[in-house]
Structure formats: structure tokens, C-alpha cells
Amino acid sequence: MAKELITKIEQGLKEKKARLEQELSSFATKDSGVKGDWDTTYPRVPEGDLEDAASEVEEYSTKLRIEFSLEKQLLEVNGALERIAKNQFGICKVCKKEIPQERLLAIPESAHCTECT
Ligand SMILES: [Zn+2]
């Protein structure tokens, strides 16, 4: 793959990474102990108000689902950036063949070729 194209993809990935981290940090804190892990802040449950408590817990589980999805995307983006840094970008993790350029342009995070997905 052409170097300019990789640079362009890298730029896009970095922007996506910043966006994902910003979204995550709006409701979760980065777990400094585990690489790539974020923790959703548990809601402060008001004492004696069960209805409020229930909706807070519900909100928390929604956030957890979003956190999980954002975290997954972030890991994929980071993985792609690592592959670029190691000069392994565009190589399928499983069969080590080159991933078709169209696929990489559509999904730059993909670590597998169309056959190994
Ligand atoms: Zn493959």
C-alpha cells in the first residue's frame, strides 16, 4: 500500500481515537491499571428513593453497554495504529496475506482479510 495512503489512514485513525476517548471520558474514567480499560462511574444512589435508584441503575447499565462498544472500537483503532507503527498494516493476522486495499479504506481497523473474518 502506498505510503501516502497509510499516512492518510493513520491520520483518520488518530482522529477517531481522540473522538472515542473524548466520548468515553465524558462518563467513564480510564483504568490506569489495565491497558485500554475504562470504568463507568457508578451512579450515586440517593438514599431512601427507590424509584430514583432504579433509574440510576438503569442508566448505569446503558452506559456500560456504550462503554463496552466504545472500548472495543478504541482497542481496534489502537491495534491498527500499532500495526502501522510496526509496518504490519494491511497484513492479515491469520493468513499473513495482504488485506485488499478497498477493505482497508472502508474499515481501516480490520486486522483480517475478507476470508479470515
Ligand atoms: Zn486472512
Q: What is the pLDDT of residues 50-82, one digit of tens each?
A: 778 888 889 999 999 999 999 999 999 999 999
Q: Is residue 11 part of a domain?
A: yes
Residue 62 lies in a domain: yes
Say how many Å lie between the CA of residue 64 and the centre of ligand 1. 32
pLDDT digits (tens, 9 = 90+) for 71-112: 999 999 999 999 999 999 999 999 999 999 999 999 999 999
CB 67 within 8 A of CB 29: no
- Distance from residue 113's CA to the centre of ligand 1 (Å): 4
What is the distance in A from the centroid of ligand 1 to the CA of 59? 40
**Contact at 8 Å (CB) between 103 and 114?**
yes
Model-level pTM?
0.81
Q: Indicate the number of domains in the chain.
A: 1
Cβ distance 84 to 63 under 8 Å? no
pLDDT of residue 46: 62
Evaluate whether residue 66 is within a structural domain.
yes
- Give every CB contact of residue 53 below 8 A, 6+ residues apart in sequence: 45, 46
pLDDT score recorded for residue 5 = 92
User: Cell numbers of 52, please?
Assistant: 430514583
Collapsing DSSP states into helix, strand and coil, what is residue 98?
strand
Distance 84 CA to ligand 1 centre (A): 17
Q: Are 45 and 56 in contact (CB under 8 A)?
A: yes
Average pLDDT over residues 33-60: 79
Using a 10 angstrom Cβ sphere, with 0-12 exposed, 13-18 middle and 19 or more buried, the burial of residue 47 is: exposed
Asked, for residue 63, whether it belongs to a domain, the answer is: yes
In a domain, 117, yes or no: no
98 Cα–ligand 1 center, Å: 8
What range defines the domain where residue 27 resides?
3-89
